[in-house]
């Protein structure tokens, strides 16, 4: 079955750029039936949707977040990635990648990675 | 942005209890609402979509209802595995927003 796995550094210094990758296994990221999203969760707090990408490279971002996020896709590697620039301690969180339906109003998350903890600290 | 508000924030209940969690949207979201269960240290797990559709593999003791701005998640008979935090999520517009969560604790 399809699985998602996040990878990336667990510790990032303030003002640097955070880079995370989500590897899709057991299925193709180019299947056309799904969007691929990033969601984060600070310790003890709720979930915040960051944005999503389609296999074509088309993206949507949470309009409530400042434009420090960039999501990209590498279909040859069956991966999609998240970059967050100028990180601060407020960006410390567990970052999840998730699959979202691509059909109209199927925009819920039916598959999640295990999550990766990113700590911003000097 | 559409704001989602869950109540209560914490709920204490016993095994076998009927449990209801409410989620209110700041504007109408039709039936475009999902519910998730999250256990400590784990990713959320989809329970319900389109307000009342049960995700495959989810026990039938979970049910969802509502439309417009008010929604409920009901667990008909609480089981030991159900002690967790539950989140609602709207997908009516391009910004997916979650409720703040409801923690179901052992009474």
DSSP state of A91: G
Residue A32: pLDDT above 80?
no
| Mutation target vs B (from A59, A101, A108; most B CBs, 10 A cutoff) | A108
Distance between B10 CA and the closest CA of chain A, angstroms: 13
Average pLDDT along chain A: 94
Query: β-strands A93-101, A109-112: how paired?
Result: antiparallel
Distance between B63 CA and the closest CA of chain A, angstroms: 17
Q: Encode pLDDT of B39-87 as tens digits.
A: 999 999 999 999 999 999 999 999 999 999 999 999 999 999 999 999 9
Tokens found for residue B54: 């049960």
Q: Encode pLDDT of B2-15 as tens digits.
A: 999 999 999 999 99
Residue-level pLDDT at B10: 97
* Cα dihedral A8/B43/A62/B3 (nearest 10): -150
Model confidence at A104, pLDDT cuts 50, 70, 90, reads confident
Set of chain B residues whose Cβ sits within 8 Å of the Cβ of A48: 98
Percentage of chain B surpassing pLDDT 90?
93
Tokens found for residue B42: 């784990």
Which residues neighbour A119 within 8 Å (Cβ) at sequence distance 6 or greater?
Answer: A10, A11, A12, A92
Interchain CB distance below 8 Å, A46 and B98: yes
Average of per-residue pLDDT across B95-101: 93
Q: Encode pLDDT of A9-29 as tens digits.
A: 999 999 999 999 999 999 999
CB contact at 8 A, B14 and B29: no
Residue A33: pLDDT above 90?
no
Set of chain B residues whose Cβ sits within 8 Å of the Cβ of A63: 1, 94-95
Range with lowest mean pLDDT among A34-43, A58-67, A88-97: A58-67
């Amino acid at each position: 079955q399809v699985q998602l796995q996040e990878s990336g550094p667990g510790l990032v210094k303030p003002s640097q750029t955070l880079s995370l990758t989500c590897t899709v296994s057991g299925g193709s990221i180019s299947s056309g039936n799904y969007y691929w999203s990033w969601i984060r969760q600070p310790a003890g707090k709720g979930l915040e949707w960051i944005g999503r990408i389609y296999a074509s490279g088309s993206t949507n971002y949470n309009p409530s977040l400042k434009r420090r996020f960039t999501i990209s896709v590498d279909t040859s590697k069956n991966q999609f990635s998240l970059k967050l620039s100028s990180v601060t301690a407020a960006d410390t969180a567990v970052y999840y990648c998730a699959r979202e339906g691509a059909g109209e109003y199927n925009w819920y998350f039916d598959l999640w990675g295990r999550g990766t903890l990113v700590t911003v600290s000097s | 942005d559409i704001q989602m508000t869950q109540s209560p924030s914490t709920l204490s209940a016993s095994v076998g209890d009927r449990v209801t969690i409410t989620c209110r949207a700041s504007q109408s979201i039709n039936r475009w609402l999902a519910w998730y269960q999250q256990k400590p240290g784990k990713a959320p797990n989809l329970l319900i979509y389109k307000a009342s559709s049960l995700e495959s593999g989810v026990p039938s003791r979970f049910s969802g209802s509502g439309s417009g701005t008010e929604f409920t998640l009901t667990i008909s008979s609480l089981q030991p595995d159900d002690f967790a935090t539950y989140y609602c999520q709207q997908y009516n517009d391009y910004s997916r927003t979650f409720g703040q969560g409801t923690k179901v604790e052992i009474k």
